[in-house]
Structures are given as structure tokens and as C-alpha cells.
């Protein structure tokens, strides 16, 4: 039996779930998403990835600025939905919205709740050095990611993982998990349990001011910092490719050879070698694997070094 669903999501992360729901034959009555935003060099308004996906299936798209007015609540109720599915929508759902669908609202959250409630769970998990993360499907309530957890899927975080690679993996896992949850709901077998009080952490929104690399930190922290902020907003440092220092994003790093304090291998930020591109940290060193100059495409370290004037011993 197909469910009548309102889907609420905005970024790429939500698209696989929407496609799986449609592919399973469920009736998506409407898609709610954020309005187009300026993007690209020309800053032209771009529809959200979810909006573009909905258009392919001729699903009505609604782009509310708020859900906290009677008109928005009445429109939402008029969909007569069995269920709302929320995946990185971007607006808080007030109680009248949460209560409108017959089976409530299910949220797809990119962490193993109660760890990393909030806005940036993937980035914070990598930056904190977590060895695993995952997807949680929870029944929504008014608190921030506090609702009962229904299903989870885990995945390891490897040394080479970035926020981008984990994001893509979790998006696929989440789509599959949501389809399984809908099947359980249709059979009357979707059970949800309150989240434990122990282990609650909050994933604060990434502040762009955090993105600058502090080479005085230990290599392990810098490695996680770089990979956790890739591809957005991108960890950065000032490099001297020309006469003046230039801000360069470092999109991927890995642990490098080098033991002891920075003064044993060079001051923090010192380039120890160009092939591979290794930089001294407050303790140990990291290899920079992928970089991006302003206005340029990302490139591997070997190509980057060929295009700039760097030398071993330079300090970033």
C-alpha cells in the first residue's frame, strides 16, 4: 500500500531519499524546499537540488519562508498526508506541522543520535576524530533532533574520508534506510525508542572563521580539520605562490612521516618536502593531497606544486 507523503528537503543529501520514495511507488503530494539562492560566479539564483529533482517528476514544489503562520499551516494540512519525511530541509517545523500527517514526521539525520545533534554532524564527527558515524531515522518532535530513534545504519570513518565522501555515503545509506522504514511503517512494525540521555553532543554550524589552519596544532588534529571541512567551506592557509601570500584551500590531507615536536622537524607551517607536499605541524607533520587556489579548480598536490613557486623550507 502506497503512502501519501510530503517530502521536505533542500540539498544534494536529500535527493537520493526523494528518488527512492518515488521509485517505490509512494504518492508524493508535495515537495517543500528552500527558495533559489544566488550561486556561481554570476550569482544567478539557482534552484535547490531537491527542487530540480521534484520537477523531473512533476511534483508540486512549495518554497515557504516560514511555516509559523496560519496560511502555511492550512496549506500543509490540505495535502492530507499520511507522513512527512524531512531531510536537511532548513526550517524548524512548528507543532501544527508536526501533528498534521496521520503518522507524524520522520527525519533523516546524518549521525548516530544522540551524538551530533544539530547543523553540521558530518563535519563535526570527522573533526572530533570519531571512528564511525551513521544515519538515524527519528520521529520528530519540537526539540532539536531529540525525537525517538527508529532505525540506524553505521559506517566507518577512514583516514582518507572527507566530509564530502562521508556525506555521499550517508546520503545513499539514508535513502535505503528510509525505504526500509516506510516498509516497516506500512506493516505496522516501525518501532521507535527514546534517545538515551548519555552521549548527547551538539554539532554547531561551521563558522567560516574556523576554517583557517593553525599549523601549531598537532598533526592528527590538522588532518581531521582539513578533511572535516572539505569540500565546504574548505580549510585554508596563506601560501606564497607569488610575490604576495595567497589564500589556498586544502581539500584533503593524510598523516605524514615526522615525529616529535615541530622544533625537531622545523617550525610549525614549514614545508618539509615538495614531493610529496609535507608540512610541519605543532607535533608531527601532514601531507597535503588536494588543494585549490582562488578561482581555480581543485588539483592534486603534484600539479599544484608545478604551478606555483614553493620551496622546501618556506613557511606557510
Quote the pTM value.
Answer: 0.93
Q: What is the pLDDT of residue 295?
A: 87
- What value does the mean pLDDT of the chain take? 93
DSSP for residue 70: H
Measuring CA to CA, how many Å separate 156 from each of 134, 153, 310? 8, 11, 36
CATH code of 4-202, in short, is 3.40.50.170
Measuring CA to CA, how many Å separate 224 from each of 94, 110, 113, 142, 227? 36, 18, 21, 33, 5
Neighbours of 50 (CB within 10 A): 28
Going from N- to C-terminal start, the domains of the chain cover: 4-202, 208-306
Mean pLDDT of 261-288: 83
Q: What is the pLDDT of residue 262?
A: 44
**DSSP assignments along 2-40, one per residue:** PPEEEEEE-SGGGHHHHHHHHHTT-EEEEEE-PPPEEET
Q: For residue 309, is pLDDT > 90?
A: no
Q: What is the pLDDT of residue 215?
A: 95
Q: For residue 270, is pLDDT > 50?
A: yes
Backbone angles phi and psi of 147, in degrees to 5: -70, 165
**DSSP assignments along 249-271, one per residue:** EEEEEEE-S--SBHHHH-STTBE
Contact 219, 286 (CB under 8 A): yes
Q: What is the pLDDT of residue 38?
A: 78
Q: What is the pLDDT of residue 259?
A: 45
Positive or negative, the Cα torsion across 247, 248, 253, 256? negative
pLDDT digits (tens, 9 = 90+) for 63-121: 999 999 999 999 999 999 999 999 999 999 999 999 999 999 999 999 999 999 999 99
138 cis-preceded (ω within 30 degrees of 0): no
Query: Residues of the chain with pLDDT > 70: what percent?
Result: 94
Nine cell digits for residue 278: 609535507
Output 171 or 260, whichever has higher pLDDT: 171
DSSP for residue 183: H
pLDDT digits (tens, 9 = 90+) for 221-241: 999 999 999 999 999 999 875
Q: What is the pLDDT of residue 34?
A: 96
pLDDT digits (tens, 9 = 90+) for 252-262: 999 986 544 44
Backbone angles phi and psi of 83, in degrees to 5: -160, 145
- Residue 90 and residue 25: Cα distance in Å, rounded? 26
Q: For residue 196, is pLDDT > 90?
A: yes
Q: What is the pLDDT of residue 258?
A: 53
Rounded to the nearest 10 degrees, how much is the dihedral formed by the CA atoms of 58, 63, 64, 65?
180
Output 283 or 109, whichever has higher pLDDT: 109
Mean pLDDT of 187-212: 95
pLDDT band at 313 (very low <50, low <70, confident <90, very high): confident
Query: Residues of the chain with pLDDT > 90: what percent?
Result: 84
Contact 277, 305 (CB under 8 A): yes
> b/e map of 185-207 (b: 16 or more CB within 10 Å)?
beeeebebeebeeeeebebeebe
Q: For residue 31, is pLDDT > 70?
A: yes
Most distant pair of Cα atoms in the chain: their distance = 68
Mean pLDDT of 278-299: 93
Q: State which fold the 208-306 domain adopts.
A: 3.10.25
Mean pLDDT of 151-168: 97
pLDDT band at 41 (very low <50, low <70, confident <90, very high): low
Q: What is the pLDDT of residue 242?
A: 52
Amino acid at each position: 500500500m502506497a503512502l501519501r507523503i510530503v517530502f521536505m528537503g533542500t540539498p544534494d543529501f536529500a535527493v537520493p531519499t526523494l528518488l527512492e520514495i518515488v521509485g517505490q511507488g509512494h504518492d508524493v503530494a508535495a515537495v517543500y524546499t528552500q527558495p533559489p539562492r544566488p550561486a556561481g560566479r554570476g550569482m544567478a539564483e539557482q534552484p535547490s537540488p531537491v527542487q530540480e529533482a521534484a520537477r523531473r517528476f512533476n511534483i508540486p514544489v512549495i518554497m515557504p519562508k516560514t511555516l509559523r503562520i496560519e496560511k502555511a499551516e492550512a496549506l500543509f494540512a490540505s495535502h492530507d498526508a499520511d507522513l512527512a519525511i524531512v531531510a536537511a530541509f532548513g526550517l524548524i517545523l512548528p507543532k501544527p506541522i508536526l501533528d498534521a500527517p496521520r503518522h507524524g514526521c520522520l527525519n533523516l539525520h546524518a549521525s548516530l543520535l544522540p551524538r551530533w545533534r544539530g547543523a553540521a554532524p558530518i563535519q563535526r564527527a570527522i573533526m572530533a576524530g570519531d571512528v564511525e558515524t551513521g544515519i538515524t531515522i527519528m520521529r520528530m518532535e519540537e526539540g532539536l533532533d531529540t525525537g525517538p530513534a527508529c532505525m540506524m545504519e553505521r559506517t566507518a570513518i577512514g583516514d582518507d574520508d572527507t566530509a564530502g565522501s562521508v556525506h555521499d555515503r550517508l546520503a545513499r545509506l539514508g535513502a535505503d534506510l528510509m525505504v526500509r522504514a516506510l516498509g516497516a511503517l506500512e506493516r505496522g512494525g516501525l518501532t521507535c525508542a527514546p534517545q538515551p540521555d548519555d552521549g548527547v553532543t551538539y554539532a554547531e554550524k561551521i563558522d567560516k572563521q574556523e576554517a583557517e589552519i593553525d599549523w601549531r596544532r598537532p598533526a592528527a588534529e590538522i588532518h581531521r580539520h582539513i578533511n572535516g571541512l572539505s569540500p565546504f567551506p574548505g580549510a585554508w592557509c596563506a601560501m606564497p605562490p607569488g610575490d604576495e601570500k595567497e589564500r589556498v584551500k586544502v581539500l584533503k590531507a593524510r598523516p605524514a612521516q615526522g615525529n616529535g615536536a615541530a622544533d625537531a622537524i622545523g617550525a610549525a607551517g614549514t614545508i618539509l618536502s615538495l614531493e610529496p607536499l609535507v608540512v610541519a605541524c605543532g607535533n608531527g607533520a601532514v601531507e597535503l593531497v588536494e588543494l585549490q587556489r582562488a578561482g581555480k579548480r581543485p588539483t592534486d598536490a603534484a600539479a599544484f606544486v608545478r604551478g606555483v613557486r614553493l620551496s622546501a623550507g618556506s613557511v606557510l
